[in-house]
Structure formats: C-alpha cells, structure tokens
Amino acid sequence: MSSLDEFSDILLRDEPLAPYTWMKLGGPAQFFLTPRDRDQLIRVLQACARLNLPVHILGGGSNVLVREEGVGGAVIRLSAAAFAEVSVEGSTIRAGAGVLLSHVISEAVRAGLAGLENLSGIPGTLGGALCGNAGGRQGEIAPLVKSVTVVRLDGEISTRSGDDLAFAYRSSDLAESIVLEAELALQPDDPNEIANRLRKIWILKKSTQPLGSQSAGCIFKNPSGASAGAMIDKAGLKGTRIGGAEVSDRHANFIVTHEGATSADVLRLIDLIRSKVAEQFGVHLELEIKIW
Ligand code: EPU
C-alpha cells in the first residue's frame, strides 16, 4: 500500500495521458490526481514529497508532448471547481489556475476590461499561460499580472506581486511552484471595441496557423530577432513527414499529426528540423513545448 491510497477517490493509476493533451499522443501517468481543493492539493504534495515522487502539473495539455513510455511519479490536474473561479473587482480580474485562458478573456471582454484580448487564440489554462508567459506578436501576459498566489512543493502558500516575478520570453520563475490563482490588472474600455480587436487577432491567427489540426501550437521558441517558422520554411521543410507527424504547410513552426502518429514520430521530426536549421542557419532552435 502506498501512502497515496488515502487519495483513492481522486487517484487514477496508469491513466493514459494522450486524451488530456492536444497532440493526443503518448503513454500513461503512473499516478494521476485531481485534488478537490487547495487543502487536498497540499496534502497530495506533501505525500509526494514523502514518497519522493516527482510532481508534474498538467494544465490544458496544449503545450506538452508525452513520450510513449509515459510519465513516472504524479501528474496533478487542477480541473476541480475550486481552481476554476473567476471574479471581477473594479478593473482587476481574479481567476483560478485551472480556468481556460479563453474563458478569462471572454469574462474580461464581457466586463469591459481591455488588455487580455491580445492573447486571443492562445489555448491552455491561466496557470499554464502564467508559467510560460504566454503571448504572441500582440503582447504577452506578464505586463497584466498584478499578483500570483502559488503553493510550493512543500505545501507553503504565498502571494507574489507581479513586480517580484521574473518573466521572460515564454518563461517565468513560476514553474518552480504551482500556481493557484492570479489577479490581472486590466483597463476599462468599450466592450465592442475590445471584442473587435479580439476578432481581428483571431482572424489573423486563423489565416496563418493550422488551428483546426491536431497540434501543440508553435514547437520552437523564436530565436532572438528571428522567426523559427520562417527559418523552418526557408529550409524547405514544410510538408516534411515522419510517420504520422508532419511540418504544417500553413505555418512551419507547427507540427500536425495524422492518424497513427506516435510521440516518437514527432520527436524524430523535431530532431530533423533542428539539424536542418542548424546546418542552414547555424541556429540551435530551442523547444517551446514541454516534453514529458
Ligand atoms: N513565416 C514564414 N513561414 C512560416 C511561418 C511564418 O515565412 O511557415 C513568416 C511570416 O510570414 C512572418 C514571420 O515569419 O513574416 C513571423 O510569423 P508569425 O507572424 O506567424 O509569427 P511567429 O513569430 O511565427 C509568433 C508566436 C506564435 C503567435 C504568433 C502570432 C512564437 C514561437 N510564436 O509566431 O505563438 O501565435 O507570433 O502572434 O513566439 C505559440 O507560442 O505556440 C504560438 C503559436
């Protein structure tokens, strides 16, 4: 009997992770837990620490590729209602880590609060967006962050102000702890104007990215001052296929998958792209997605 047994009502063993990810690939989680609230999350974290189990937090599954062999240790998903609350006070929106970013955006638009519409079309949860400083050409989440409440792996809860957080291009120092909720400081504006801006960004993305296909968004970070997608395209790799994984014809920084694809196909295609881009441009592309 492991001491995770006390969590039997929220614990699944060898739970296949593929259905929880956008790529729909990869193996199972040794332990898969969905805590009901903060207190239970803390008890889960403490048990994992006692058992020396590595802890992985799964958000919306839109920026992760799970290997065929799956993930050892605990995969925790903050999908319970306690992590999905959204409220508006003045021009501040407060939301739980498990809320979809798209939902936070629509609540902000409904309340006539501007700023978040720049993140239109970005999948995943608020927690994931904060950890990876989600963004695009129109801006990123970092400047909107007023505070973030986190829990450390030892169970200690603290609230950090936006100014104390270290955000950089597609990264933050939040990944060392677990985001519970955040406050975002927005600007009052006409809801119709905000909705119009949101629609424009969405249309632009839809016309340049394969949003209807199975993918995990951009695979690589943009090297400083350049576009990974443009480089992969110039290297002639659009449409290149390994097994069921293919470099998107629409945007070369996306890998789309077809029936029968495996994580191993995607990983081999990633290696091929990296070596061709290094050969042609002398640039080592860094992964934007996480590989588990
Ligand atoms: N380009 C090509 N070929 C391609 C793709 C792009 O020539 O196959 C060219 C475009 O024509 C354009 C330039 O490269 O001149 C930049 O392309 P784009 O505007 O699509 O932006 P990006 O730098 O490739 C970034 C983010 C996206 C985000 C878009 C739009 C990264 C790695 N990517 O893409 O984010 O949606 O801007 O805001 O920062 C993601 O993070 O998962 C993601 C998709």
Q: Tell me the pLDDT tens digit for each residue of 191-211.
A: 999 999 999 999 999 899 998
Q: What is the mean pLDDT of residues 5-32?
A: 97
Q: What is the mean pLDDT of residues 141-167?
A: 96
Q: Would the CB of 251 count as within 6 Å of ligand 1?
A: yes
Q: What is the mean pLDDT of residues 42-59?
A: 96
Q: How many CB atoms lie within 10 A of CB 260?
A: 8
Q: What is the mean pLDDT of residues 149-174?
A: 95
Q: Given this structure, which CATH class describes domain 210-291? A: alpha beta
pLDDT at 1 over 90: no
Q: What is the mean pLDDT of residues 130-139?
A: 94
Q: Would the CB of 218 count as within 6 Å of ligand 1?
A: yes
136: closest CA among 210, 193, 215, 205?
205
Architecture category of domain 84-207 in CATH: 2-Layer Sandwich (3.30)
What CA–CA distance (Å, rounded) separates 262 from 94? 38
pLDDT at 292 over 60: yes
pLDDT at 147 over 50: yes
Q: Would the CB of 222 count as within 6 Å of ligand 1?
A: yes
Q: What residue spans in the chain does CATH classification 3.30.43.10 cover? A: 3-81
* Amino acid sitting at position 240: T
231: closest CA among 265, 276, 268, 266?
276
Q: Would the CB of 140 count as within 6 Å of ligand 1?
A: no
CATH number of 3-81: 3.30.43.10
Q: What's the gap in Å between 178 CA and the centre of ligand 1?
A: 29
Q: How many CB atoms lie within 10 A of CB 54?
A: 12
Residue nearest to atom 36 of ligand 1 (CA): 136
Q: How many CB atoms lie within 10 A of CB 184?
A: 24
Mutation to probe ligand 1, out of 118, 169, 227 (largest number of atoms < 8 A from CB): 227
**pTM of the model as a whole:** 0.94
103: closest CA among 86, 78, 88, 115?
86
Q: How many CB atoms lie within 10 A of CB 95?
A: 25
pLDDT bucket at 2, cuts 50 / 70 / 90: low
Residue nearest to atom 14 of ligand 1 (CA): 230
- Predicted confidence at residue 176, as pLDDT, reads 83
Residue nearest to atom 2 of ligand 1 (CA): 230
pLDDT in tens, 66-78: 999 999 999 999 9
- Predicted confidence at residue 213, as pLDDT, reads 83
pLDDT at 265 over 60: yes
What rounded mean pLDDT belongs to the chain?
96
58: closest CA among 165, 179, 221?
179
Mutation to probe ligand 1, out of 133, 171, 218, 288 (largest number of atoms < 8 A from CB): 218
pLDDT in tens, 73-131: 999 999 999 999 999 999 999 999 999 999 999 999 999 999 999 999 999 999 999 99
Q: What is the mean pLDDT of residues 24-48?
A: 97
Q: What's the gap in Å between 210 CA and the centre of ligand 1?
A: 12
The H or E element spanning position 179 is strand 178-185
